[in-house]
Structure 1
Amino acid sequence: MSKQLDYHTIREIFERFQEAQPEPEGELEHVNAYTLVVAVALSAQATDAGVNRATRGLFAVADTPQKMLDLGLEGVTEHIKTIGLYRQKAKNVMKLSQILVDEYGGEVPNSRAALQSLPGVGRKTANVVLNMWWGMPAQAVDTHIFRVGNRTGICPGKDVVAVERALEDHVPADFQNHAHHWLILHGRYHCKARKPMCPTCLIRDLCPYEDKTQ
């Protein structure tokens, strides 16, 4: 784990990210707040690409909580059976859809606490929805952000909550809305787990990672 970078270095890093990709976006396909919640919940221990393949057909017939309930557990299961842990995830989708219908009039709540009360929705999922749908500066820390944050010193921490707090505390306010997308994409395509692409890295000269690949 690298030491926390100073403010000016972090600002320079995010200025470079912004110049390279001014409007980074999440890669999970969705059509509304509800389908975003479902997609992110399904993405646990699965790839975004794999989730997208499964949800294209699912969301074509069930893009609201009530339509999902009408589809039924067997119907949902059939659509997402290519995703890891699909049986439990299908049950969670049905349960959260029922809660949204019964307690929220079929609408997705825009508070972290309410979102986290839904089955299969953890802090990361809640933060993704708050950020991507409502534009709140919530930081969703996944394995990519955890790795990049610690390697680079942008937001080091021993666990995801510590990394999340470091992001909130040290990333300049004007980069907060897109910060987690830039870091996810950097981790997914450049600062990879086993073979980070240091020679072509945008922030190579600012990164303290000792094991830079040659």
Structure 2
Amino acid sequence: MNESTNAALPKVVDRAIWQVELDALRIREKAHTREGDAIAAARRRLPMVEVDATIRLVGPDGPVSLLDAFEGRRQLIAYFHMWHDDHPAAEQCAGCAFYNGQVRERSYLHTCDATYATFCYGPYEQSVRYRDSMGWDVPWYSVRDSAEALLAGRQVGVFYLVCYLREGDRVFETYWTTGRGVEALDNNYALLDRTVYGRQEPWEDSPAGWPQH
């Protein structure tokens, strides 16, 4: 049964024309990939800054040090999760839930000597119940009393993705990002960017009539 949705559609061409246009786009895609590789290479060459390895976090067994959060591995990737005191799960940060909730299978990170953990601004007992209610199992720590020391002048309460390196008993911060930089945690956007309607967000450059929610 043929059914029209009256939705805006791309123009229809034969396969040969379609392939020519796709091949032209592929040149730009490959250039974008190579530029991403070059940026990652530059990121690996950034200097680093030492962080106090004894900064206290709160985990399932009580206070621990930043060094303990590495779980014996050399690298630590920490997501700073926003928190609204005494609000139910449905009223917590939707963006943090969207990003942080996607980091589920971590075995490959572990083979690369990297630990992923959540540093939540909320109190441990309350915020870990939220984690459990969401069905997540990521290592979870409260940085309620240590966020200012960890962020060293950056705004407390904002979500960040921060990378650390351990050298013996010393800890160094090697990279941090916020805003759209945390899209590294997500696969939904990367997949939707390859579809005809994209992310369907108002800021996107889409043809007139494309769905935007």
Structure 2 length normalisation: TM-score? 0.25
Mark the structure with the bigger radius of gyration: 2
Structure 1 length normalisation: TM-score? 0.25
More helix by share: 1
More strand by share: 2
